Amino acid sequence: MYHHILIISMNEEISDYKKRILEILRAKLNLSDSANITGGQNLTDAGLPVMADMVIEDENRTFFVDIKSRVTIDTIARLILLKEVLQMQKEKKLASNPLFVIAGKVIPPREEEIAKKVDITLVQLPYTLRFSTSDYGTSKKKIKITSDKSWKVVTRLLKEKTTSIRQLALMENVSYGWAHATIQSLINQGIVTKEENYVSITDVNKLLNGVAWERPFENLRVDEITIDYDFVIRAAKDISHTLKNQNIKFAFTSYTAAGLYIGYAIGHDAIYLYLEKNEVDIFKKTFRTEENMGIKARIYVPDRDVFIDKKEIESIIVTSPAQTLLDLAGLGYSGLDIAKAMVDNYARI
C-alpha cells in the first residue's frame, strides 16, 4: 500500500521548473486545481523496486507519472511492472482504472509506438526545460548489483553478516572504490544499513527482488527438453558423469544446485543446467527422448564465467553458492522461498 509523503496543491508556491511541469501535466491530463500530488516513493507492499516520480489523485482518477529526460524501453517496462503489481495487490485506494504516464523531453518513435500499444500516455516536455533529475530519483548512480564484481561484494556481506567495506574489498579482491560504490548503492535502496564503519544487509526481500529485476534468469534459457529419467538426482549424477568424461564445460544451478547445498527438497520435474552455447546441440542429441514421460532438462547459456568456482556435491557438478543464489533470485517470485532459505544458510555453505 502506498502512503502520502508529500502533498502539493496545484496552486502551491513551488520552483519554476516544477511549476512548468505541473502546468503541462495539468493541460495534457485535464487536471483540476484541487489535484493532489504525491512525491516519489515505493508504491507496493511487496518490497519491489517499483517507483513512480509522481502520483496524482484528481477526483476519481489516479495517475502514476514518471518524469524523464529521455523516454526509454526501461522506463516503459517499469511502469508496466508497476501496473501488474498494483493489479495483483488490488489496491483499494486506487481508482478502478489507474492511468500511467511518462513525461519526457526526448520521445523516440519506437518508444512512442510501444507506449501506445501498452496503454501508457506520453507527455512531451519542452526540450529547453531544465529540471533537476535529483527530484526524480536519477541523480545517484545505481550500481548494477548483479554484475560479477558487485555480486561478489554482496554475497561476501551475506556470508560475513556484518563487516567493513574495506574488509569486503580485501576478501573478494575488488577495489575499495568498487566495493564502496556497491554498498552505497545498496544503502540508497534501503537494502544495507551502516553503523559507524560496519555494514549489514537488513532487507533481503528488496535485495532478491532487485536481482530479479536486473537479471531475469529465464532470459538465459535457450531450450528445454525431455530426458528419460524419473528422478532429478539420478539424472544429474548420470549427466555429470557423462559430461565430465567428455571434458564438456557444464554446471547444474538453480533448484538443482540449491537442493544439494542446503538440503532443500528438490522438485522431481526438472533439472537446471548451464552449458556453453556450442555444446547445447550435442547435449540435446545425446539426452533427449521423444517419449512424453520423463523429467525436463532446462538448458541455460551463461552470461559470465559460471564454471570457474563450480563445486562437486554427491558426484554432481554445481555452480558456486554465489552463482546459485544469483540464479535463484533471478527467478523472481517462483524462486523466492528457496532463495531466502539459501540466504538464511549462506554463512555455513
Distance, in Å, from the CA atom of 195 to the CA atom of 198, rounded to the nearest integer, reads 5
Distance, in Å, from the CA atom of 346 to the CA atom of 349, rounded to the nearest integer, reads 5
On the question of pLDDT at 275 being above 50, the answer is yes
CB 154 within 8 A of CB 145: yes
Distance, in Å, from the CA atom of 271 to the CA atom of 88, rounded to the nearest integer, reads 30
Q: Where in the chain is the domain with CATH 1.10.10.10?
A: 148-202
On the question of pLDDT at 315 being above 70, the answer is yes
Higher pLDDT, 21 or 9: 21
pTM across the whole model: 0.63
Predicted confidence (pLDDT) per residue in 277-298, tens digit: 999 999 999 999 987 789 999 9
Q: Which of 185, 209, 182, 211 is nearest to 42 (CA)?
A: 209
Distance, in Å, from the CA atom of 300 to the CA atom of 22, rounded to the nearest integer, reads 47
Tell me yes or no: is domain 217-348 CATH 3.40.640.10.
no
Q: Where in the chain is the domain with CATH 3.30.460.40?
A: 217-348
- The predicted structure's pLDDT at residue 291: 79
Q: Which CATH number among 3.40.50.11890, 1.20.120.420, 3.40.30.10, 3.40.1350.10 corresponds to the domain 7-136?
A: 3.40.1350.10
Q: Is 31 exposed, middle or buried (0-12, 13-18, 19+ CB in 10 A)?
A: buried
User: CA of 90: how far to CAs of 98, 129, 130, in Å?
Assistant: 11, 37, 37
Predicted confidence (pLDDT) per residue in 32-67, tens digit: 877 777 654 445 444 444 567 778 888 788 888 888
Length of the chain, please?
A: 349
Predicted confidence (pLDDT) per residue in 100-142, tens digit: 999 988 899 989 999 999 999 999 998 888 765 444 444 445 6
Look up cell 537446471; give the residue. Answer: 272
- 148-202: CATH architecture: Orthogonal Bundle (1.10)
The DSSP bridge pattern shows strands 295-300 and 270-275 to be parallel
